[in-house]
Amino acid sequence: MDPNSNRRREDYRAKRSSLNLSRNEAFAAPDQPMKNASLLKKIVGMVFVLAISFGVAYFAHMYFTFHSAVNTASGSNSATSTKIASKKPISILILGVDQGIEGRHDQGNSDTLILATANPSKQTATMTSIPRDTLADIKGDPGNKYFMFRINSAYEVGGNKAAVKTVSSLLNVPINCYIEVNMKGLKSLVDAVGGVDVNVPFSFSYDWCDFHKGKQHLNGRHAVAYVRMRKEDPRGDYGRQLRQRQVIQAIAKKAMSVNTITNYRKLVTIFNKYIKTNLTFNDMVALALNYRGCMKNFKSNYIQGHDAWINGSSIQVASTAELQSKSNLIRKNLNLPTETLNNEETRQNRLNTTINKVKWKDPNAFTNYQIFDQNSDTPESGSSNGSS
């Protein structure tokens, strides 16, 4: 063995010892800290995955529960669904029925009738109130018991189908869908969206609820009282219709809010118990996504009737000019051409104008308006001038 070689090895060891060299600790960290960090990462990752899984499961449950509830409340209407999916103008008849209010358990009448339209291309919407006492040719009445009577009786004889047919005929407009809300459910609906803000036209008290002129936030109980009061309103039923439109418009705006979905359990209960509609869940989602711009250009109006006493009953008779005006407004927002009204209501008006000399500008209640037989110029049996 080369003695020089042994000497070189000894010299290297001496130098290494003096330099205090050791293994690269940057790549050789202590074993225990590495194990703790790895375990912490695994726990954090597991918690994160579980949180995401529970979140997805929760929202999936929410989606399908709400989907099921809405579709249970609706009927199948493929034509309407196609129209909504294609972003076409649409009309909706909103019915507020008085079942369950003040102890009622019968079919009841439609205390509220509002025809709403939405045109997504124009981003415009209309809401037309129809007074419940408006004289109309009641459709869907097999016994012809209510040939010409108050329009709210249509619901009593044939439910929402009869109401849709009657309003459609009155104004010569197609009605694509309906939303029937039991007035007993209005309280729950308002509470489910977190209450609504309205501009109270004047101060009043009703059903143990106080209302003050100006902006006011209403909970469910106050909202029901707000839309039901009529006798203290100087405008009578027309004032009540204004308040009904206020609340419905406020609910619609809240329903378009993403935050409302957090109360989906309440909404599910309401749909199951108090709402009937032919809109599907997908229809409602499409309306919320594609029609919300219509709320920016909103026209609210009502059919103005003339007081009349017919066979001892107080009824509102709308002139042909008034009906034509509202028909034109609604058809325009549905992208439909205007058409001259030619229905039973206009025929009755024409006969009363020519035969009974009814003066439409007379501010006094009509006492000489009569109901004429169908397809005849002869007054209906039992119909007479004057009040009883």
- List, for residues 171-192, the tens digit of each pLDDT value: 999 999 998 888 778 888 888 8
CA–CA separation, 170 and 130 (whole Å): 10
Total of domains in the chain: 1
Longest dimension (CA), the chain: 145
Instruction: Answer whether residue 110 is part of any domain.
Output: yes
Go through 196-225 and write b for each residue having 16 or more CB atoms within 10 A of its CB, e for each that does not.
bebebbeebebeebebeeeeeebebebbbb
3-state secondary structure (DSSP) of residue 92: strand
What pLDDT is recorded for position 294? 87
How far is it, in rounded angstroms, from Cα 185 to Cα 266?
A: 11
pTM higher than the cut 0.85 = no
Beta bridge partners of 117: 91, 126
Give the dihedral sign, CA 312/313/316/317: negative
pLDDT given for residue 34 in this prediction: 53
Count of other CB atoms within 10 angstroms of residue 44: 10
Of 156, 179, 175, 152, the closest CA to residue 165 belongs to 175
Give the pLDDT score at 216: 95
Q: Is 98:113 a contact under the CB 8 Å cutoff?
A: no
Contacts of 257 (CB under 8 A, 6+ apart): 193
Cα 371 to Cα 355: distance, rounded to the nearest angstrom: 12
Q: Which residue stretches of the chain have pLDDT < 70?
A: 1-77, 99-109, 143, 255-265, 267-268, 380-388
Helix boundaries (H) for the chain: 3-19, 31-73, 78-85, 153-171, 183-192, 220-228, 237-255, 264-274, 281-290, 320-333, 344-354
In a domain, 35, yes or no: no
- Give pLDDT tens digits for 268-322: 677 777 888 888 878 887 887 888 888 788 888 999 999 999 988 999 999 999 9
* Distance (Å) of CA 173 to CA 47, 157, 180, 339: 57, 21, 19, 10
How far apart CA 62 and CA 319 sit, in angstroms, is 49
Q: State the pLDDT at residue 270.
A: 74
Structural domain containing residue 291: 54-134+141-304
Is 336 domain-assigned?
no
Residue 177 pLDDT: 92
| Neighbour tally for 303: CB within 10 Å | 23
Cα 57 to Cα 134: distance, rounded to the nearest angstrom: 50
- Measured CA to CA, the distance from residue 69 to residue 65 in angstroms comes to 6
Token code pair at residue 83: 């129209």
| 163 lies in some domain | yes
Distances (CA, A) of 304 to 230, 235, 239, 312: 16, 11, 12, 21
Residue 283 structure tokens: 């229809």
Domain contains 314? no
Report the length, in residues, of the chain.
388
The CATH number of residue 258's host domain is 3.40.630.190
Flag whether 127 is in a domain: yes
